[in-house]
Amino acid sequence: MTPATDDASAPRVRDHGGGVHSLRVPIPDNPLGHTLVHLLDTGRGPVLVDTGWDDPTAWDALSAGLAACGTSVAEIHGIVITHHHPDHHGLSGRVREASGAWIAMHPADATVVRRTREAEPRLWLDYLAGKLERAGAPEAHIAPLRAAGGTGQLPGLRPAVPDREIVPGELLDLAGRRLRAVWTPGHTPGHTCLHLEETHPAGSPGNGRLFSGDHLLPGITPHIGLYEDPDDTTMTDPLGDYLDSLERVGRLAPAEVLPAHQHAFTGAAERVRELLAHHEQRLAGLLALLAEPLTPWQVAERMEWNRPWEQIPYGSRTIAVSEAESHLRRLVKLGRAEVTPGGEPARYVAV
Ligand SMILES: [Zn+2]
Ligand SMILES: [Zn+2]
């Protein structure tokens, strides 16, 4: 994602009306600043949409935010997770321990959670190193991964395994509320937006409200990379998934969007059009680059980012290459580019 500045003066808790609050939960040392955790009152107790980063500061902010809403962690009845990323799902396990709440997640992201828990850090690093090698990354970029893999010195992540599946298109089982799951793969394979099919409390025209997670944000383009599944050898097309998902939420035409970062906004359809145009432009720029065969790494070096390539830190370069590859795959799926024959690293060229 492109960094956004956090507005520290914004209130920690906001009442959106109709039994919906947002709580700003900080993400330490991250330009995103905070996750907006949403609290939805139901007939059987408060339900959280996402929980925030697993960190003592975030936990304190979540607890204080719930207190300001007149409730507490212990009273949470359920947790609905938009996607498995740690700034959304990090505190879920702790909230469940303190409250006995259930955790619901789309099965595709639940699979990622299980894989993350079971994966040996070394195997994961080997997978990543192999992938970067095939993308044409220079040895200097791959070497630190091999070194870390050799020592096995990477802490394993232990995200909470969800207890309920979110079924796309279905209403969640919430007393007195109509919250429908809208599967929006792209940012992750199981990313899900939640559509509150209720009249807007301020009477704004449009079709209810949408908890959009990272799928639709007012001023940031979410990262669309590969799905990073070592066991999956199929040519997934995350960018294609994302663009389809954008059109899906655009058609919903919600009166208001409640995203997981930045701030609530209106004009979902317009924002969708902007994002579709942004990616269309990106694909056109990429196609122009592919007049000569290029590896994904070379493509990433030449693509436009929020700063010059030389200034992009190490970890972000790995993410950038993944983003370049998702765009290359889209062009291949559209029949506008192809992989040149002749082994690794893969080289792409315009058709
Ligand atoms: Zn995310
Ligand atoms: Zn996020």
Quick: pLDDT tens for 53-104: 999 999 999 999 999 999 999 999 999 999 999 999 999 999 999 999 999 9
Query: Strand 13-15 and strand 348-350: pairing?
Result: unpaired
For residue 83, how far is its CA from the centre of ligand 1 (angstroms)?
A: 7
Nearest bound ligand to the CA of residue 31? 2
CATH 3.60.15.10 at 13-113+160-274, yes or no: yes
Whether the predicted pLDDT of 156 surpasses 60: no
For residue 224, how far is its CA from the centre of ligand 1 (angstroms)?
A: 10
Give the pLDDT score at 10: 64
Nearest bound ligand to the CA of residue 217? 2
- Give the residue extent of every domain in the chain: 13-113+160-274, 289-350
For residue 304, how far is its CA from the centre of ligand 1 (angstroms)?
A: 21
Amino acid at 86: P
- pTM to 2 decimal places: 0.92
Give the pLDDT score at 153: 46
- Confidence band, pLDDT 50/70/90 cuts, at residue 9: low
Q: Between vectors from CA 283 to CA 279 and to CA 285, what angle results, nearest 5°?
A: 115
Fold identical between 13-113+160-274 and 289-350?
no
240-258: average pLDDT: 97
Whether the predicted pLDDT of 216 surpasses 80: yes
277-293: average pLDDT: 95
For residue 261, how far is its CA from the centre of ligand 2 (angstroms)?
A: 7
Give the pLDDT score at 30: 86
Q: pLDDT tens digits, residue range 320-337? A: 999 999 999 999 999 999
What average pLDDT does the chain have? 92
For residue 340, how far is its CA from the centre of ligand 2 (angstroms)?
A: 35
For residue 82, how far is its CA from the centre of ligand 1 (angstroms)?
A: 9
Give the pLDDT score at 150: 55
3-state secondary structure 152-202: CCCCCCCCCCCCEECCCCCECCCCCCCEEEEECCCCCCCCEEEEECCCCCC
- Confidence band, pLDDT 50/70/90 cuts, at residue 112: very high
Residue 237 structure tokens? 């097309």
Decide: residue 85, CB within 10 A, 0-12 exposed, 13-18 middle, 19+ buried. Answer: buried
CATH number of 289-350: 1.10.10
